[in-house]
Every structure is written in C-alpha cells, then in structure tokens.
Copies of this chain bind each other. A is one copy, B any other.
Amino acid sequence: MNATLLVCTTCRAGQPTVKGQPVAGARLYSALASKPMPENLTIAPVECLSACGNGCAIALTAPGCWSYVYGRLSENDAAEILTGATAYAATPDGLVPWRQCSQIFRKQSLARLPPQER
C-alpha cells in the first residue's frame, strides 16, 4: 500500500517557544525527512494533530486502511519511527502484528481509527 507518515510540525511538546528556533514538532519532521524513506511511504507535515498534551505526535494512514496516532515523541525517535512506519506500509490493512511492533508503537499509541468510509 501507499502510506503517509503525518508529522505535526506545530507541536511544542509542552516546551516554551524560543524565537528563531524551530519547535519540537518541526525538529522531528526535519529529522524524519532527512532519512531515506521506502518508496511506498510519503512524509507530510500537518498543522496540529490535536494531540498537544502528548506531543510530539505522528500519524500513519493509508487509503482504505486503519490509521494510527502516536505521541510523546522527539527527534531522537526518528529512526524507530521510520522502522515502524516501514512495517505499517508493508501491511495490506494497516494492522502490524503486535509482536513485530517496537516499544514506541506498543507503548505510545494515542489512538487508532478504522478505514474511513468512501
């Protein structure tokens, strides 16, 4: 499937903003975007995933598939996020078997949503 990795780029992750410095969500996006991405995975910035109390947040979504939102992330998690996103993109329905999920994907789920109706 063709999956999208959405990254909330406006998230401050509970930190004060520093003039001229990118916020935590923007730093996470940069860290992810700088890494090699599988062909069937697209990264996209999004302004606010409404997970402000559990930022930084990302989401994985694909047409006709379950979507997942994860939180309490930082730029240091970029490699693990990409590994998990690659596993997600390799499924036909968005459902990665539990035993194949890494710590972040097991412990930091904020929500999931069934495929959106057409």
Contacts and interface: CB of A to CB of B under 8 A. Distances in A.
A49 interface: yes
Contact of A118 (B6, B110, B118): B118
Contacts of A115: 116
A112 B51 CA distance: 7
A56 interface: no
Contacts of A49: 111-113
Contacts of A46: 114
A56 to B, nearest CB: 12
> What is the copy number of this chain in the assembly?
2
Nearest to A112: B50
Contacts of A59: 111, 113
A91 to B, nearest CB: 15
A68 interface: yes
A89 B118 CA distance: 16
A57 to B, nearest CB: 7
A4 interface: yes
B51 A116 contact: no
Interface of A: 4, 6, 46, 48-52, 54, 57, 59, 61-63, 67-69, 71, 109-118
